[in-house]
Amino acid sequence: MADESSPSRGAIPFRPLLIATGNRGKVVEFQSLLAPAGFTLLLPGDLGLSADVDETGDSYVANAFLKASALAALSPHPVLADDSGLEVDALGGAPGLYSARFSTLESGPPGPWLDAAGKPLPQAAANRAKLLKAMEGQENRSARFRCVLCYMEPGKSAAFFEGVCEGEIIREERGDGGFGYDPILIPKGYSQTFAELPGDVKDAISHRGKAAALFLKSLAASRD
């Protein structure tokens, strides 16, 4: 978390922003993307709140709004929520909205998804294993990460910002960085997976980085 006593140069001291997620990987990315703009990121747990919200929407926009509005109703601070997913063309856009729990869905190759020792894989690794299994024999490997951010300030309407990063699915995992599906997607124009790219490069080209850039641009324009 940012140090309130030493904000970045030119930033507004203690510019709180509640991030509506419990995903540690997303928190790390938001810290990198938003803290330099002067934000002090707050997590739901910092305020005694829960980030668990039923994602029952039929779109990224709907789910991001559900998460943002749930926390905005309980906090005086501005809220930023994210909904994102991996869309694979050969799978008709799946896993899409269900990316985070893909391995638990009945559709697609059946599990169980186990490691070399025969133990169940963590959710993210199981998701990747199922996706690679579903892609066996597929020549069309095109895919994209998509992110929608929902920003809510007290007394104002929600604002949405979307970022997309095109790429392709490789045939086996590569890289130790990032999280989620990062080890199996190479962004267009690169030879490394998201899990292999340096953090600053990933921030500049990723779906979440692009959405965050639009968010920051909108805030700057509203304050001119």
Q: What is the pLDDT of residues 149-162, one digit of tens each?
A: 999 998 889 999 99
What is the CA 43 to chain-centroid distance, rounded? 15
The yes-or-no answer on residue 115 being catalytic is no
pLDDT in tens, 103-146: 999 999 999 999 999 999 999 999 999 999 999 999 999 999 99
H helices within 57-196, ranges in order? 60-72, 123-134
Give 43-50 contacts, CB < 8 A, sequence gap 24+. 43/18, 43/19, 44/18, 44/19, 44/20, 44/71, 47/18, 47/74, 47/75, 49/74, 49/75, 50/22
Return the structure tokens found at 217: 């641009």
* CB 171 within 8 Å of CB 224: no
Q: Is 157 helix (H, G, I), strand (E, B) or coil?
A: coil
**Structural domains of the chain sorted by starting position, each given as residue range(s) with its CATH number in brackets:** 15-222 (3.90.950.10)
- Those residues whose C-beta lies under 8 Å from the C-beta of residue 162, and which sit 6 or more positions away, are 60, 146, 147, 148, 149, 211, 214
Residues 58, 83, 182, 224: which is the catalytic one?
83
Question: What confidence tens digit (pLDDT) does each residue in 25-77 have?
Answer: 898 999 999 988 889 999 999 999 888 888 899 999 999 999 999 999 999 99
